[in-house]
Amino acid sequence: MALINEDYLKLPDNYLFTEIARKINILKATRGNAKVIHLDAGDTSCILRGELYNTLKQSLEESVEWEGSREFNAEEHHKTLVTRILKNEFETRGVKLTPSEIFLSDSAKNAAEDFNDILSTDNIIGILDPSYPAYIYSNVMNGRAGERMNDGRWSNLVYIPCNQENGFKPQIPKEKLDVIYLNLPNNPMGITMDSSELKKWVKYAMDNQTLIIFDAAHVHYITEEGVPHSIYEIKGAKKVAVEIRTLSKTTGYTGTNFSYTIIPNEVSAYTKMGEQVSIQKLWQRRHTSKYNGMPYNSLIAAEAAYSPQGLKERQELVNYYMTNAKLIKETLTKHGYKVWGGTNSPYVWVKTPNGMSSWKFFEQMLYEYNIVCTPGVGFCPGGEGYVRFTGFAKHEQVKEAMNRINNKIKM
């Protein structure tokens, strides 16, 4: 008799974005002409910028023809891409890495989720609260989270609170944690850490043989000085951290995913008997078996993203989205909302007024203004009482949305 993995039954029925979509569908069913503006996830509609687009088109044209078909050399492009990543992302920050420490993959989200496959189910996992839900769900699926409790938290996970009292900055845990997810600049709260703060986390990890999964998906949105872009800017981090990066947030190329994970030669974890094992070697084993390589089109586009023109255009796109975030932040602040983020991140984290619940405020925004934000509670129980707005949208949409709020234009 075929048995299921019963950990999957523990997962709550509706994933955050599915539930949001459902509520929007209800609105549209009752008011067919509703002009809904998405300031929730956004940027999923496969937008290519100039250089990426041109290179992709050109590469198709230049492909070698044989007997009616066309052939490419993926290997060379792979090499070029990795060299460009090392040069532009790490050397400029004083971080030395080698090509064998970079693993290309489809999506940063999946890399973060899949990475815990190579870790024991016995690890005690620390996550920020609120946090990006994928970290939690992938641990539930792998039988590491325990049971879902009444407050929505999981019995075997350790929640590191980020709240108004600590300015949404997580404090070093008192417990000895085995694995910690650090997501900086943070999603959903938009916060960062400076070098001295991040040093404490690396020291904690070294002292406790903790592995840090450092998700730097939004690194290109950092505008302030003194904020490390890579965890490897901190001495010792190569021994205790893997780092996840994506290009999709700066190329608008979400639909043709490309991301990469840095797994330094030195980073280790342990067997139950205390034997030290190279994480790179384990991941290499999973990767060669479970990953088929980057699709050719994604590879070409990723390479173009690191050309001088590609880099320039990506910066323009970052500025574009940050202008949106700034406008959202200013508008909401003006109307008396308490607001965080939006400085080193395209996310604006907003406290709901009068202790209103996240979903209640979400519904109010949706039904009154036809604006979609993301209920903070969807990011963990610690996000209750907050919502997240994102700058990942078109200027004109953000302007219209803010105009509705400014002028109390009820839809």
> Segment 260-299, which members bind its own copies (CB under 8 A)?
269-272, 274, 277, 279, 282, 285-286, 288-293, 295-298
Token digits for 271? 């067997």
* Residues facing residue 277 across a β-bridge: 269
Which span (47-55, 150-158, 341-349, 399-407) binds its own copies, by CB under 8 A?
A: 47-55
Place of tokens 């709020």: 405
By beta-carbon proximity to its own copies, the closer residue of 44 and 195 is: 44
* Binding-site string for its own copies from residue 177 to residue 216, where x marks contact by CB under 8 A and - marks none: -xx----------------------------xxxx-----
What amino acid occupies position 401? A
Token digits for 40? 């929730």
What is the CB neighbour count within 10 angstroms for residue 197?
Answer: 16
Cβ-based neighbours of 201, under 8 Å, separated by 6 or more: 172, 180, 182, 193, 212
d(CA 221, CA 190): 10
Q: What's the closest the beta carbon of residue 6 comes to its own copies, in angstroms? A: 6
Is-contact 25 45, C-beta < 8 A?
no
What is the CB neighbour count within 10 angstroms for residue 44?
Answer: 13
Binding positions for its own copies, 6-35, rule CB under 8 A: 6, 8-9, 11, 15, 18
Number of residues that bind its own copies (CB under 8 A): 86
Helix (H, G, I), strand (E, B) or coil at 65: strand
By beta-carbon proximity to its own copies, the closer residue of 146 and 295 is: 295
Question: Which ranges in 151-265 belong to alpha helices (H)?
Answer: 195-208, 237-240, 248-251
d(CA 131, CA 181): 9
Among 131, 257, 261, 374, binds its own copies (CB under 8 A): 257
Using CB under 8 A as the binding rule, whether residue 37 contacts its own copies is answered as no
Q: What's the closest the beta carbon of residue 134 comes to its own copies, in angstroms? A: 7
d(CA 287, CA 294): 12
Rounded to the nearest angstrom, the gap between the alpha carbon of residue 237 and the centroid of all alpha carbons in its chain is 20
By beta-carbon proximity to its own copies, the closer residue of 116 and 344 is: 116
Q: What's the closest the beta carbon of residue 324 comes to its own copies, in angstroms? A: 12
* Residues facing residue 242 across a β-bridge: 213
* Binding-site string for its own copies from residue 84 to residue 123, where x marks contact by CB under 8 A and - marks none: ----------------------xx-xx--xx--xxxxxxx
Crossing angle of helices 308-334 and 50-62, in 10° steps, is 150
Which span (26-34, 71-79, 91-99, 402-410) binds its own copies, by CB under 8 A?
A: 71-79
Binding positions for its own copies, 324-383, rule CB under 8 A: none
Q: What's the closest the beta carbon of residue 113 comes to its own copies, in angstroms? A: 6
Q: What's the closest the beta carbon of residue 145 comes to its own copies, in angstroms? A: 13
Beta strands (DSSP E) in 173-258 are 179-183, 211-215, 241-246
Among 72, 204, 337, 367, binds its own copies (CB under 8 A): 72
Using CB under 8 A as the binding rule, whether residue 73 contacts its own copies is answered as yes
Binding positions for its own copies, 295-324, rule CB under 8 A: 295-298, 317, 320
- Distance between first and last Cα of the chain: 55
Using CB under 8 A as the binding rule, whether residue 4 contacts its own copies is answered as yes
Q: What's the closest the beta carbon of residue 95 comes to its own copies, in angstroms? A: 22
Q: What's the closest the beta carbon of residue 9 comes to its own copies, in angstroms? A: 7
Among 69, 150, 155, 196, binds its own copies (CB under 8 A): 69
Rounded to the nearest angstrom, the gap between the alpha carbon of residue 142 and the centroid of all alpha carbons in its chain is 20
Q: What's the closest the beta carbon of residue 355 comes to its own copies, in angstroms? A: 31
Length, in residues, of the chain:
411
Q: What's the closest the beta carbon of residue 112 comes to its own copies, in angstroms? A: 10
252: left (phi > 0), else alpha (psi -120 to 50), else beta? left
By beta-carbon proximity to its own copies, the closer residue of 111 and 365 is: 111
Q: What's the closest the beta carbon of residue 269 comes to its own copies, in angstroms? A: 4
